[in-house]
Chains A and B, each alone.
Chain A
Amino acid sequence: SYDLTQPPSVSVSPGQTASITCSGDKLGDKYVSWYQQKPGQSPVMVIYQDAKRPSGIPERLSGSNSGNTATLTISGTQAMDEAEYYCQAWDDRVVFGGGTKLTVL
């Protein structure tokens, strides 16, 4: 089975850049999407097809994908970015990563 691995937690100071990684075998050959989930809320897609942003998602969120690693980057991190983030890819089925808790200290 295909697995996506994320760090359980990432911490960042307000205004700094946060990077959340997602690793999988030859992940760069697949499209990756990212979802933000705040407590008690449904997931919201923030990045799709590696680097595209849906309308309404701030430009400070960006994505990249190469080799075995996809990365969600949040520039100028704000308190409102504190959330759980999940990566997701397609490998003849839907696969989610285990999630990363982003803490804005």
Chain B
Amino acid sequence: AQSVAQPEDQVNVAEGNPLTVKCTYSVSGNPYLFWYVQYPNRGLQFLLKYITGDNLVKGSYGFEAEFNKSQTSFHLKKPSALVSDSALYFCAVRDDRGSTLGRLYFGRGTQLTVWP
């Protein structure tokens, strides 16, 4: 079955420090991976995706993610965190098999808090 795991419920980091939000995946076939961000009382917003090609994917708001096939990971990173980055982050994998074609499976989310 397709699935993603976000091992940390919460990540806390000081403003200006680098941040990493972890995600590991399990898929049969090619992995199509996504990161979304959710600000309080809002819907999810797309950050970036990995379909194929370069292992380092760049996305919105200075975020990037590193795809590692051997470790089945897709960690979200940012070199210098901002207080405004505080939000709930979701990793997702797309299922491209048969009748479930195109469905996204989400992780449980990681709450990122950046303190001043």
Do A and B share a complex?
Answer: no
